[in-house]
């Protein structure tokens, strides 16, 4: 040990002794109660936590079981001689926190030696290394902690055991040993956040990047689930009372009990009164030799990159379209945009959202259709320059299938606004149509004077295989129609409609399923040859 380390250890020992002497002088906690808690396997940090003094002692590395025992030998006659059962190795797991507040660090087949390094620092160093390994760029973090329900159950068992043993003593009656003290989860947060901030070089708070520490203990959790008073348990007890042999208990499905959620277990525990709890559970709980298993996961809240897209090809779908393992069209808008976005943001996945859709053979022109790419668990949040690079890459493509406008990083409120405005928006179209007989000027005038006409559309025949048969009322806000030069049967129809109107069916009538239609109003057969969306009227992503 170096001189510096020796001096640090000596200072820590002095701090630990000072904490214990102040506690002893105040009879807080009573030394005989502390001695008893140690003997049933409760760790030093849980003792201070349960007596409401955790914040004073949590960062003192020298407050180990062996140091505590040495102090007790000096001040408590019941601990003299070193033969009492409370002395154990510092690597033993706590009967309450299962080693979470005084963690051990296992690697391969052995325990990593700690020397003078804080055990909490080892865990936070592992977290820091994992974040770097996965390539996250962070400016802060929030910490989420998940503990097995058995921790709460064992703490309750210890409290009830101590109440049974010391409930008549004044210190207990004064509620020093109350249930309003800091929880294991809160204690771990107090221990680990400063170390994480130091390791990561950023602050803890309300941040989109979340570190989740999930602690599990399958053996103890399975045992706890077997003790809960559920239907299967009651049935086994009834069978036992009827004289069935104990082998019948082995039919209980272990896998099924392990699949029960901790939230269910917590709820079940809350519904058990103290008297029933004492009859179901061992008091005090048995000592723990195996620590909790820790899994570290990292997750960043989704980011949204939005803009407007133009689709210039009549052979490109909005999303990937595959029928019987065969791709329809050359490409899709979704894939073209996603490829460039994901290459920069390095996310785990994505979701494409658009304000409506057009058929594969319909172009999207004008100002474009609003869209969002929701990127999941990104490793880095793209800068404004990187967003522009995405836009430039798509717009400079030689195939010229898709172009995008006003690409930017947006918040998730845009997604809700897009969904809310989708049904209310208006859309404008330009359609090349053919009629079976030439139209007169009166016919053209008849179409052009129509304003806010209501039509009724049943689900089109062409989409009945994938959409429910419904009757929809839609509004045609206005229309204009003009002849195509050099032809007496071809016309260019401009129209503005309510979102969700089936334009193709409005032209040809869909065997009478859309009424009225262009064909029915003009008393002739009408067919649509080409269709373009020329405007999507939404005040989003302009």
Tell me which residues are annotated as active site.
359
φ and ψ at residue 319, rounded to 5 degrees: -120, 165
Inter-CA distances, 515 with 147, 280, 520, Å: 61, 71, 8
77 three-class SS: helix
Q: Are 497 and 477 in contact (CB under 8 A)?
A: yes
Residue owning tokens 């179409």: 447
Task: Enter the tokens of residue 37.
Answer: 């808690």
Distance separating alpha carbons of residues 154 and 160, to the nearest angstrom:
10
Enclosing H/E stretch for 449: none
Distance separating alpha carbons of residues 367 and 403, to the nearest angstrom:
11
Distance separating alpha carbons of residues 329 and 336, to the nearest angstrom:
13
Q: Tally the C-alpha atoms within 13 A of residue 243's C-alpha that lie toward its C-beta.
A: 0
Cis peptide before 354 (omega within 30 of 0): no
- Taken as a whole, the chain contains a residue count of 542
* CB-count exposure of residue 298 (10 Å: 0-12, 13-18, 19+): middle
Distance separating alpha carbons of residues 478 and 450, to the nearest angstrom:
6
Distance separating alpha carbons of residues 89 and 263, to the nearest angstrom:
33
Long-range contacts of 515-523 (CB under 8 A, 24+ apart): 515/455, 515/456, 516/453, 516/455, 517/455, 518/433, 518/447, 518/493, 519/435, 521/446, 521/447, 522/435, 522/439, 522/443, 522/446, 522/447
Distance separating alpha carbons of residues 326 and 328, to the nearest angstrom:
6
Residue owning tokens 């002849």: 483
């Amino acid at each position: 040990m170096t001189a510096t380390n020796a001096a640090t250890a000596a200072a820590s020992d002095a701090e630990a002794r000072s904490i214990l002497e102040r506690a002893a002088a105040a009879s807080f906690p009573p030394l005989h109660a502390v001695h008893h808690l140690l003997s049933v396997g409760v760790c030093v940090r849980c003792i201070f936590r349960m007596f409401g003094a955790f914040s004073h002692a949590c960062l003192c590395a020298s407050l180990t079981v062996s140091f505590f025992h040495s102090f007790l030998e000096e001040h408590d006659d019941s601990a003299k001689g070193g033969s009492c059962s409370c002395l154990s190795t510092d690597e033993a797991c706590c009967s309450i926190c299962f080693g979470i507040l005084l963690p051990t660090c296992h690697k391969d087949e052995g325990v990593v030696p700690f020397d003078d390094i804080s055990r909490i620092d080892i865990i936070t160093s592992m977290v820091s290394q994992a974040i770097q390994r996965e390539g996250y760029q962070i400016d802060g973090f929030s910490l989420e902690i998940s503990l097995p329900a058995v921790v709460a159950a064992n703490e309750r068992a210890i409290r009830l055991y101590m109440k049974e043993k010391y409930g008549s003593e004044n210190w207990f009656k004064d509620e020093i040993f109350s249930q309003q003290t800091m929880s294991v989860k809160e204690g771990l947060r107090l221990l680990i956040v400063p170390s994480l901030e130091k390791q990561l070089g950023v602050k803890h708070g309300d941040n989109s990047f979340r570190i989740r520490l999930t602690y599990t203990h399958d053996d103890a959790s399975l045992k706890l689930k077997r003790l809960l008073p559920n239907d299967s348990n009651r049935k086994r007890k009834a069978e036992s009372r009827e004289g069935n042999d104990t082998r019948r208990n082995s039919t209980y499905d272990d896998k099924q009990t392990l699949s029960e959620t901790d939230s269910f277990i917590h709820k079940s525990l809350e519904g058990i009164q103290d008297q029933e709890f004492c009859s179901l559970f061992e008091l005090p709980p048995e000592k723990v030799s195996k620590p909790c298993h820790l899994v570290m996961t990292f997750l960043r809240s989704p980011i949204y990159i939005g803009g407007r897209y133009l689709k210039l090809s009549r052979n490109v779908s909005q999303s990937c379209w595959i029928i019987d393992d065969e791709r329809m069209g050359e490409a899709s808008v979704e894939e073209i945009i996603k490829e460039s976005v994901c290459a920069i943001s390095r996310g785990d996945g994505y979701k494409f959202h658009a304000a409506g859709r057009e058929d594969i053979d319909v172009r999207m022109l004008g100002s474009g259709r609003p869209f969002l790419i929701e990127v999941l668990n990104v490793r880095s949040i793209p800068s404004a320059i990187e967003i522009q690079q995405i836009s430039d890459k798509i717009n400079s493509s030689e195939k010229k299938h898709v172009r995008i406008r006003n690409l930017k990083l947006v918040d998730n409120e845009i997604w809700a606004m897009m969904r809310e405005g989708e049904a209310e928006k208006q859309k404008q179209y330009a359609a090349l149509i053919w009629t079976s007989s030439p139209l007169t000027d009166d016919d053209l005038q008849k179409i052009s004077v129509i304003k806010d006409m209501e039509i009724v559309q049943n689900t089109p025949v062409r989409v009945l295989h994938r959409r429910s048969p419904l009757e929809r009322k839609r509004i045609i806000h206005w229309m204009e129609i003009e002849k195509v030069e050099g032809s007496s049967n071809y016309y260019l129809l401009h129209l503005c409609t309510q979102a969700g109107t089936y334009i193709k069916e409005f032209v040809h009538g869909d065997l009478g399923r859309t009424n009225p239609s262009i064909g029915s109003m003009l008393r002739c057969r009408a067919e649509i040859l080409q269709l373009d969306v020329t405007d999507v009227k939404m005040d989003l992503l302009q």
